[in-house]
Chains A and B, each alone.
Chain A
Amino acid sequence: MLSLSGCWSRIEPKYLGIVNSLIYDVDDEGKFIVHLEFLNAADAGSGDGGKSKGSNYTIRAMGDSPREAIANASQSVDRNIFGGHYKVRFFSEKLAKQSVNPTLDYILRAKITDETALIGVIKGDKPEKIYEATLDLSDTVGNYIETMSRFLPDRSSKAVFPTTLDFVRDYYSDGKQPVALLVEIVENPSQTPKGEDKGGDGGKGEEKKEYKIVCEGLAAFKDGVLAGYFNGEETRAYNFIMNKVHNIHITVPSETGNTVFGITGSKCKVKTSMDGDKIKIDVKLKVNTNIAAETGEIEINDPKEIKKLEESFNEKLKKDVEGAIKKAQQEFESDIFGFGEFVHDQHPKEWRDMKKDWDEKFKEAEISVSVESRIRRYGEIKRPFRYEEEDK
């Protein structure tokens, strides 16, 4: 161990520039651009919570390849760039539309990068704006996204948080295409502008805009190229098929108001069959729900009403799931749901012939969705609040 401590590769922590997140981008001439967000360890450890000077520091560099761009970044950093603590790596929309394959090759090949970081796409043509966004209680964008990935899936299934490994695994799969986290930078009207001082004379000059990060939807890929986006509801449908829905709430309108369903568990089963050249895919969803809120005047103790509520929920979810699948089939032409893996599993002989042009087959596949839900609990009151009042 003594001899190992003196290895050539040693670098004292004080000389490390720890990268917390980065953006891979490309310019019009095909040059790679990287935006690196460094963790300001000294500042983060200060008594003021690391907020006084800002705990992150970002730089931009260019090069003919992603690796060269990172190497060029060293020219304006007084530390050794260290990528062992990446929390998230982003692709710009522009790069993702060209191909992420050259960047992934570097990521998988290089020692300083690993596959545990989250992977995402920043929507829009100015991805670097993410570093100007309000970060709430986090000190860096990397930590912000990483913290969000721990809690958001349990609150809302309108986003996905795949790691680089998840992306790579799906990329290599013949029957599934990868997806990435979708991040959008939007103006934040609720925050007080922190640019010019508006006091006294009522504000001078141009007001500095505040941005916030929104993680909603997903970025769908096909063979390493961005195929399109899902919005929040489509992503929720995607998560239902992927069995990744936890404790979320779905609001379904009824004749007299809205019913909010709390999802306590769901199970998706996929069955595939062959009809000549045609592939049929049956998606069966079984969902356990609770009633989280009822704003209408429904007697929820009545089994008939419960049945109606279940049917309206089934219809809503079926529509969402069918819409998401249709979009993947027709717009993306990319099987991000992994139906190909089910065909492989259930029809291995036929799969051998069709795996090479699975995306074409997927596009033409006949996909049917059925949803079966069950309302188990109504919460701590037996009747809708309003209903009971009128009853009195």
Chain B
Amino acid sequence: MKKKPFITALQLVFMTSGSALVFPYTFMPILNTPPSNQDVWIVLIMTIAYMFLLNIPLLVITNNFRGLSFNETFEMILGKFFGKLMALFYVLFFAYCFTACMLIVSMFINLYLFPDTPTWGLLVTILIAVCYAAYNGAGTIGRLSTIFVPIIIFTIVTFFLMGLGKMDWGVLRPVLADSKFIDMNIGAFLTAARYSETIIFFLFAQYIDEKVNINKTYIRAVLTFAVNFMLILLPTILVLGIDFARIAWNPYYVYTRQVKALGFLERMQAINTLAWFPLALLKLSLYNYMASNVFSEIVGAKSHKSFVIPIAVLGFIVCLVPILDTSSTIELLRSDRIFPFVTLPVIFVFPLIIMIVFLIRKKKIKVMLKRRQQSAAGQ
């Protein structure tokens, strides 16, 4: 039996919320989802409700299969063949997220920081750190999250407070006058559909103490994400205005460029970049680790380690395909036309099917679980 790494509930909260914060921090898709106006902050509040709704099936499965790996859970519910097939879909999804995130990160660095550095140079730099963390596994990633995520939360709060003087709260008016209820729901749904971090919860739940309440930990993670998202969103729209924020590739970075303090503290965006970069590496490490971990279980390998570098190399090659490394392709990949619909099956549709099968076969599965627990106790 593989020795499982131990992670704490706090680390899980940091991992999921930190990973989820990379997208609003990087390109804030909520600004371009309907209704795409001053009511966007209300859409964010509604998003939380949708997130809870969409994540119910995954949470039910996570709660009922504590201590089991991703593959073991699927195989127990769906049988060996369909379990493996389902797990394979998730591997593809993790690889997609890994590659898409790498593309977005490299484009951001290229646009705002190092315009002359070739993409391959950026990717190699990123991948060295990512492979190291993913190779060392869940425990290392968990520990990294306790360093990186508090730093990012600190910078988010600091930039919010320092920008207070520049914020024009009138931007938020009129409230709920220009938005249709249906548009706001569509916007909230699409934003919630982008939140794929519950899978991190599902996969890493096997590594946390069985006494930890999964639901409470999940709520803490979602709230940590939502509060920080709000602290990113509000100053961005209040300082840049909705229309300009919508056309900027990285509106939050543009906001941080405006922050000055005490008459001499300028160019503070450097702090934002320093905090953001490790967070992006954390997200990439997580997705690389999840892809290699689940794939290793599918093929019955002893460890995920053999797959970390091949997955990274695969992502690296895909990122260098000329047609993919263009702003228009990245915009399409991350847009509401593609991204939520790639994520939605993985976070909601498949888990819903699995949950229904579980509920149908509940008695049989409970017996299997009991037997498994007894054999584990015997060992």
Contacts and interface: CB of A to CB of B under 8 A. Distances in A.
Interface in B147-173: 170, 173
B117 A7 contact: yes
28 contacts: A3-B125, A3-B128, A8-B114, A8-B116, A9-B114, A9-B117, A111-B111, A111-B115, A114-B257, A115-B257, A116-B258, A116-B260, A150-B263, A163-B258, A165-B240, A165-B258, A169-B240, A169-B243, A169-B244, A172-B241, A173-B241, A173-B243, A341-B170, A345-B170, A345-B173, A348-B174, A348-B178, A352-B178
Contacts of B260: 116
A8 B125 CA distance: 13
Contacts of A345: 170, 173-174
Nearest to A2: B125
A8 B254 contact: no
B89 interface: no
Main secondary structure of the interface of A (DSSP, over half): helix
A278 B276 CA distance: 51
B253 to A, nearest CB: 10
Contacts of B117: 7-9
Interface string B223-267: 000000000000000011101100000000010011010010000
A346 B254 CA distance: 30
A352 B37 CA distance: 13
A8 B121 contact: yes
B254 A115 contact: yes
Interface in B47-64: none
Give the 6 A-B residue pairs with the shortest CB-CB distance, closest first. Answer: A348-B177, A172-B243, A8-B117, A169-B241, A8-B116, A9-B116
Given A165-B244, A169-B243, 5 more contacts: A3-B125, A7-B117, A116-B258, A116-B260, A172-B244
Interface of B: 111-118, 121, 125, 128, 170, 173-174, 177-178, 239-241, 243-244, 254, 257-258, 260, 263
A168 B178 CA distance: 22
Contacts of B257: 114-116
A8 B258 contact: no
Nearest to A170: B241
Contacts of B111: 111
A8 B112 CA distance: 14
B115 A9 contact: yes
Interface in A149-167: 150, 163, 165
Contacts of A4: 125
Contacts of B239: 165
A51 interface: no
Interface residues of A, number: 23
Nearest to B257: A114
Interface in A339-353: 341, 344-346, 348-349, 352
Contact of A115 (B115, B116, B258, B263): B258
Contacts of A341: 170
Contacts of B112: 111
B265 to A, nearest CB: 13
Contacts of A115: 254, 257-258
Contacts of A172: 241, 243-244
Nearest to A346: B174
Contacts of A150: 263
Contacts of A352: 178
A168 B246 CA distance: 13
Contacts of A114: 257
Contacts of A116: 257-258, 260
Nearest to B277: A4
Nearest to B117: A8
A11 B90 CA distance: 44
B116 to A, nearest CB: 4
A356 to B, nearest CB: 14
B7 to A, nearest CB: 27
A50 B263 CA distance: 22
A355 to B, nearest CB: 10
B144 to A, nearest CB: 16
B124 to A, nearest CB: 9
Nearest to A341: B170
A168 B254 CA distance: 13
A22 to B, nearest CB: 19
Nearest to A168: B244
Contacts of A163: 258
A7 B114 contact: yes
A166 B78 CA distance: 58
B331 to A, nearest CB: 15
A173 B260 CA distance: 24
Given A169-B240, A169-B241, A8 B118 contact: yes
Nearest to A172: B243
A376 to B, nearest CB: 26
Nearest to A352: B178
Question: Which of A4, A349, A352 counts the most B-chain CB atoms under 10 A from its CB?
Answer: A4
A38 to B, nearest CB: 19
A172 B239 CA distance: 13
